[in-house]
Structure 1
Amino acid sequence: MFDRELREVKDRILSLGTAPFRHVHPISITIFSLAAGLAALYFLVAGHPVSALAFWAANRILDGLDGLVARRYGKQSDAGGFIDIIADFLIYSGIPIALALQLDTPEGFLAAAVLLGSFYLNAAVWMSGSALLEKLRNRDQNRGSTSMIMPRGLIEGFETIVFFTLMMLFPGSFQLLAYLMAALTIIGAFISFVRTLNMLQK
């Protein structure tokens, strides 16, 4: 919900750490980010929340740095953007599963299943909407200046970080947080669906 508004602040803070990565390819940073995310999943399942939070933080920081490094040093590529999105989806889907495995209760697995279902719905709206809006923009070059149009939702990157961090800090509240996040994700997907449909019908 607040990703666009917070992007400038995030980029300003993370830009202070781009210099050491000047000669590192952004895709390499993405791979390190993915490795940190997978380590967070491992420590979640193993029941080590402090280590999981540390690697989760590293995953998010590196995920923000790869794009900044690419833009600042002229290393942007479609392949890099593609790998970055796939890595994000892998970690985002893995965290609810890891938390459910840590709790190891039927209620926890049900909550994770509902949350992942909401992610699936949201991804369908987001990906198809993005592709169709991009097709529409190609017919009207005045519609925007970004490299890729992405429909907005109630649960975006910032909100996902907040929810997942709270789940790691308070695993006993995982079910409540998972159902709340799922509900907001579904509502956001519906709003995005309606907005995108209206834009496509103009």
Structure 2
Amino acid sequence: MLDRWTMPLTQRPLTAIARHLARRGVTPDHVTLVAFIVGLLALPLLAFEVYWLALVAIVLNRTGDGLDGALARHVGQPTDSGGFLDIGLDFVFYAAVVLGFALADPERNALPAAVLLFAFIGTGTSFLAFAIMAARHDLNRPHFQRKAFYYLHGLTEGTETVVALVVFCVWPGAFPALALVFAIACMITTATRLWGGYHTLKALSSGGLSGTPDTKG
């Protein structure tokens, strides 16, 4: 929901860093992989309840997630393989963070973590399923030109997820309640994406739409 406003704000600093990295021969895939490895450190850190260090790992991972795309655009090398690697590792990272909280306090956190992972599966599958169909119908990305995939808007997107992960780390004792609230928001996103995606693709199949549909979910 907030990505369309936050993404333009982050492009200038990310591009400045990307120029610096490009001069040193760093590739976008290098950034993706390093960011993922750093992000995975959050899992054991959360499990051992070292929340502030886990927060650092999460922030560095999310910074790298934006930086790899900025670097790819700067060097003129945005690729399908890079976009695939980026989004695939993103979902593994999100699941790892939730698992970390479950391991930190299984008695209190396990069930809310399971519910949140269930909700993440819904947002992830609706995201990727529509991206596949959008590619088949040659839909472009009117609001997210910098994304590797076309997808429907929703209540919970990248910005909201980052904010949620940060809040979890700042107030770990409130994780059960916070996770359930965010899970509900993710389920709403899944429902609106499924509804919007179904009707968008149905209209395309019947010839009712052409070009760039309004996909505000």
Q: Work out whether the TM-score is over 0.5.
A: yes
Work out the percentage of aligned pairs sharing the same amino acid.
29
Residue by residue, what CA displacement relative to the aligned partner does 1:121-162 show, whole Å, maximum 9, x if unpaired?
Answer: 122211111211221226xxxx65645311111111100000
CA pair 144-50 structure 1, distance change in 2 beyond 3 A? closer
Task: Give 1:68's aligned amino acid.
Answer: A
Q: Is the 8 A contact 2:51 2:170 kept in 1?
A: yes
> Does residue 22 of structure 2 align to residue 19 of structure 1?
no
The structure richer in helix per residue is: 1
Where does residue 69 of structure 1 map in the other structure? 71
**Rounded Cα–Cα distance in structure 2 between residues aligned with 1:122 and 1:18:** 30
Runs of 4+ in structure 1 off by over 2 angstroms are: 143-148
CA pair 93-62 structure 1, distance change in 2 beyond 3 A? same
TM-score with structure 1 setting the length = 0.92
Offset at 1:82?
A: 0.8
Q: 1:100 aligns with which of 95, 99, 102?
A: 102
TM-score with structure 2 setting the length = 0.86
SS at match of 1:47: coil
**Rounded Cα–Cα distance in structure 1 between residues aligned with 2:56 and 2:6:** 22
Aligned residues: 197
Offset at 1:16?
A: 2.2
Where does residue 50 of structure 1 map in the other structure? 52
Offset at 1:5?
A: 2.1
> Does residue 126 of structure 2 align to residue 135 of structure 1?
no
> Does residue 92 of structure 2 align to residue 90 of structure 1?
yes
Offset at 1:51?
A: 1.2
Moved more, 3-12 or 159-168: 3-12
**Rounded Cα–Cα distance in structure 2 between residues aligned with 1:150 and 1:8:** 18
**Rounded Cα–Cα distance in structure 2 between residues aligned with 1:144 and 1:104:** 41
RMSD over aligned CA atoms reads: 1.5
Where does residue 160 of structure 1 map in the other structure? 161
- Stretches of structure 1 that go unaligned for 5 or more consecutive residues are none
